Each structure stands twice: as C-alpha cells, then as structure tokens.
C-alpha cells in the first residue's frame, strides 16, 4: 500500500539487526488516519473470506485490528499477555517468543470470546518470524476456530515468517513488504496490490 | 451516552468489589462500531478545547483513543508499560498503581512524541480512582505539555477519581457514569449530555 510504504520511507528508522522503528505512526504514536486507511485496505482484501471475528495480540496490533474490524463490521479480540482479574480461570494460553523482550510471553484468550466454528482473520502490525501470529493460530485452533486469513501492516520478508504460515493454506496479506534492510536502506518488494 | 450505558446494562458484569467486567466489548473483545461511536462523541464534546494530541495508556485505552483521535484529526500517543528497544534511553517515566495487578506499573513516553507546548486530551477506558490518568497528567506536565481535557468511557463515580482530577481545572467527560455498584446492580447517574 503506497501510503504506508511512503510513510515508512519518510519516518521509519532502520535501527540495524533487522529492527524497524515505526514508533512515530504505529507502535507508540499512532496516526489514526493512516490506520483507518490500512483497515479499509485489509477489509477490501479480505472481504470475500467470510471471517466472523478479527483476532490480534496486544499491544501494537490493536489499532490496525480495530480499524479493520470496523470496516468489516466484525468484533475484534485481542489476546492478553497478562490474565486480568475479570477473566475466568479456564483460558486458552500459549507461549510465544517476544522479539523485543528476548523471552517468552503468554498469549491468553478467554473461551467466552472465541468459539468453535468461528472464522478468524488475524491482523497484526508486523509479520517477521511469524512466531506471534503462529501463537494466535494455535489459540484459534485450540478453540476449534478456523483461521481464514492473515494480515500484517508490515512484512519483513527476509525473516521468513511467510514460509512458516504458508502451510496453513490461507491468504496472507501485508500492506508493506520489506525485502531487505541492509545498511541504512529499507527496500520494498514490488507491491502486489 | 445511551448506547454505551445500554451495552453495560446488557453485557457488563458487576463482579463485586467495584469491579465491572466489560471484556465483551471494551477490554478483551472490542466492538469497533461502539468504539467509533464513543470516539465521535468524545470528538463532539472536546472539539472546542484546541487539543493537538490525544494521550492514553496501553492497553485498553488504545481503541477509544484511536477512534477519538480519528474523529478529531489528531495523532494519538499511548504510554508504554515496558520500554521497547526502539525507544531512546532518555524517556519520561512515572509510576502508577494498577488496579488489576495489585502493584505499581511504569508509564513511559518517549520525548520524541510529546513536546513542550502541546495541548493534550487524555482518553482512557475507565476513570475510577484517577491514578492512571494522574500518571498521564504527570508525564504530560514533565514534557511541558498542557492537559486540556480528560475523557473516560466509563466513570465509577463512587471511587472518587473525579475529585482527584478536578483541581486541574479542565473539562472531564465520561460517556457512562456509574454512581453505584451495590449488590448485583449497576446504577448510572443521570446522563449529562
């Protein structure tokens, strides 16, 4: 998506080691107009898959998941990393390695809000190694739900996550797909829009 | 706001001890249409205060803050509870007691995204004791920014947070104001719309 790629080139920072800083418009400060455009684009790309629920992980997935769900007219569930006191004792829980924390984090969903037979569209900010998204896939499968699509604002193609997810056989869409972050550069794959 | 009050009566659960569970439409599963309506209503109530930025705290404040910011045409910053590796070493940090965790949590903002002279509208999911919002106020003040308004989806009037915030002398708006949660009941104050 051109608007997102242009924003990454203008304000994103390649911090080295494959780390892309987008704190100015996605991960700390959020540009709601851009997030709304991204949500509209995800809704356009996924409108035919018959999703019944959008699933994401706190924290940075929430903004794009909410705008996507708004344009699709669906509820969104965000997996919690800490079980709040309002959640029942029996939950769906999986462990996922955190890129930014250097350790495993929990991803927790209450069975109240993810039922067997639901058709789940997973939306997240990044598709890198695919570990977080695979954690969400495991939670959905444990609930007896079917993952029917996966969308990420930014894909770091060189980290291989797409290969991890492809065996699921569902459409995988990224709005900005980065092929290389060598040196200071940020290079995009040719857009597949 | 009638739609929010009706939803709380229909799906909210009074768990006792002043704890209101709204995990079905705000805190775990999110109804994006309702959040968009709440954002539009906040934008209407605060359109005259000349805010330049919306400020909230992760996690549950993000959805209403993003929709409010969208309707006001402003960027939104969410204070982080853990410093990500993309954040500079020098940050604004304050401690705030967490109602649901029973301990102090950090609220962290990068100076990159909150500048002196900014006019800050704080939006959060709950106004209870006011402790989290006061943490955001301290961060804004440390940055040299001015808090010009405070909005919460749900106010628990009986927890006294409004009295803590009133000395700031800025408009405080809640979209659903609960006066009492004795027994199983959830009683609202007469709407001030």
The total of structural domains in chain A comes to: 1
Strand order across the beta sheet in which A146-156 lies: A187-188, A172-180, A146-156, A119-127, A53-57, A76-79, B29-30
| A15, A30, A85: residue with CB nearest B75 | A30
Pick from B28, B34, B92, B139 the residue to mutate for testing the A interface (most A CBs within 10 Å): B28
Contact A32 B86 (CB under 8 A): no
Question: Mind telling me how many Å the CA of A114 is from chain B's nearest CA?
Answer: 9
Residue A62 maps to a domain: yes
Question: For residue B84, what is the nearest residue in chain A, using CA coordinates?
Answer: A100
Residue A193 within any structural domain of the chain: no
Is residue B193 situated within a structural domain?
no
CA angle (A147 as vertex; A53, B61 as ends), nearest 5:
40
- Digit-coded pLDDT (tens) for A134-175: 999 999 999 999 999 999 999 999 999 999 999 999 999 999
B84 within domain boundaries: yes
Residue A42 lies in a domain: yes
Contacts of A95 (CB under 8 A, 6+ apart): A104, A105, A106, A107, A135
Q: Whole-model pTM?
A: 0.96
ipTM of the complex: 0.95
What's the domain range around B9? 2-188
Q: Does B37 touch chain A (CB under 8 A)?
A: no
Residues of A in contact with B15 (CB under 8 A): 85-86
Average confidence score pLDDT of chain A: 95
Partner-chain contact B76 A32, CB within 8 Å: yes
- The answer to whether B103 contacts chain A (CB < 8 Å) is no
* B117 is a domain residue: yes
Q: CATH code at B65?
A: 3.40.50.2020
Question: Per residue of chain A (193 residues), what is the pLDDT tens digit?
Answer: 999 999 999 999 999 999 999 999 999 999 999 999 999 999 999 999 999 999 999 999 999 999 999 999 999 999 999 999 999 999 999 999 987 677 899 999 999 999 999 999 999 999 999 999 999 999 999 999 999 999 999 999 999 999 999 999 999 999 999 999 998 899 999 755 4
* Interchain CB distance below 8 Å, A80 and B24: no
């Amino acid at each position: 998506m051109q608007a997102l790629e242009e924003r990454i080139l203008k304000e994103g920072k390649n911090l080295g080691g494959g780390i892309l800083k987008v704190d100015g418009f996605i991960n700390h400060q959020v540009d709601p107009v851009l997030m709304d455009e991204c949500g509209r684009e995800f809704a356009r790309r996924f409108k035919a898959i018959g999703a019944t629920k959008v699933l994401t992980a706190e924290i940075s997935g929430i903004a794009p998941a909410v705008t996507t769900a708004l344009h699709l007219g669906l509820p969104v569930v965000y997996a919690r990393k800490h079980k709040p006191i309002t959640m029942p004792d029996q939950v769906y829980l999986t462990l996922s390695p955190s890129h930014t924390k250097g350790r495993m984090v929990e991803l927790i969903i209450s069975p109240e809000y993810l039922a067997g037979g639901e058709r789940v569209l997973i939306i997240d900010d990044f598709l890198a190694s695919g570990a977080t998204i695979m954690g969400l896939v495991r939670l959905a499968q444990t609930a007896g739900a079917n993952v029917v699509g996966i969308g990420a604002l930014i894909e770091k193609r060189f980290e291989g996550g797409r290969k991890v997810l492809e065996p699921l056989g569902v459409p995988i869409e990224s709005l900005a797909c980065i092929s290389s972050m060598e040196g200071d550069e940020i290079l995009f794959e040719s857009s597949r829009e």
